[in-house]
Amino acid sequence: MITVIYCDQFLEHKTGLLHPERPERLSAIVKALKATPWAAQIDWQFPTAVTSDSKTKLKPLLEEVHSVDHIRLVKAISVNGGGYLDGDTPLSTESYEVALLAVNAWLDGINSVLEKNQPAFVLARPPGHHAEADRGMGFCLFSNAAIAAHYALQQPNINKVAILDWDVHHGNGTQAIIENHPNLAYCSLHQSPCYPGTGFEGEQGAYNNVLNIPMSPGSTVELYKGAFESKVMPFLQNFQPDLLIVSAGYDANHDDPLANISLYPQDYGLFTEYCLQLTSKILFGLEGGYDLASLAQSVVATIESCLA
């Protein structure tokens, strides 16, 4: 069995006509997962609801990662009818509540992984890895993976947490939030040059806890395999995390409209197998991926590898 955390409320973050980060992304994934031969092995769970009580519990954790001004701005834009954080990042009237629900889902995912000692997948939106401490950007409102990592460190027997980001875009927000924390590590494989123009190879973080692996446009799975075996795996093995969080973006697919890497859905099954060599305590959380068919099949491949 694998836990997948999802609810239809994630569809209520409306981004507008033709925006690539659209509700249909989740609908396509859910449909594909329910059509698999192993669909009965998925334990579907609802995230913790956003109530006044859960908001109170979430507040200190959210403020540990984000400025109060940023949190207030996201709320204000949303409750006042919607608008934009930047040119790429729209909010609708439900977006603030949905973004809090997404954070809850990532925290629920951490709880599931630690309770069951096996992987879980958070199927939520909006994504988060571009969100910096004091601003949202690149479709992202709150830094889900970084918040989840901070939360994990508060749990018993968790002293180190690593984040592996295989989204085609560098997670500038995640890196900026964790690079000065000695018990957190960040590793990213991303297309370069590409949005947001960050993630340079020489960056190491304050504690040698950052590894950026820029990938040239057109890179194939063979190049990714080489990067995993020569760089990603040694870096993570050396850090020795008690838990691994994967910022699971699927926009490095050949068919994705927003980038130029040539991966295919089955390749993410291979990446998952690498992760499982490190630990069974893995939280996968959805980031990018904008071609619906390849996105859905990539999530299928990821989860299928966890069930093997």
Count CA atoms within 13 Å of residue 30 on its CB side. Answer: 16
- What is the Cα–Cα distance from 91 to 77, expressed in whole angstroms? 7
Residue type, 251: D
- What is the Cα–Cα distance from 279 to 259, expressed in whole angstroms? 30
- The residues with which 132 forms a beta bridge, in sequence order, are 135
Q: 225: how many CB neighbours lie within 10 A of its CB?
A: 14
CB 135 within 8 A of CB 70: yes
Q: In what helix (H) or strand (E) does residue 273 lie, and over which residues does it extend?
A: helix 265-278
From first CA to last CA, the distance across the chain in angstroms is 10
Catalytic: which of 130, 169, 181, 190?
130
- Told to judge if 130 belongs to the known catalytic residues of this protein, a careful annotator would answer yes
Question: What is the torsion angle, in degrees rounded to the nearest 10, for the CA atoms of residue 22, residue 26, residue 31 and residue 37?
Answer: 140
- What is the Cα–Cα distance from 73 to 268, expressed in whole angstroms? 36
Residue type, 80: N
Which tokens hold the place of 233? 């795996």
Active site residues: 130
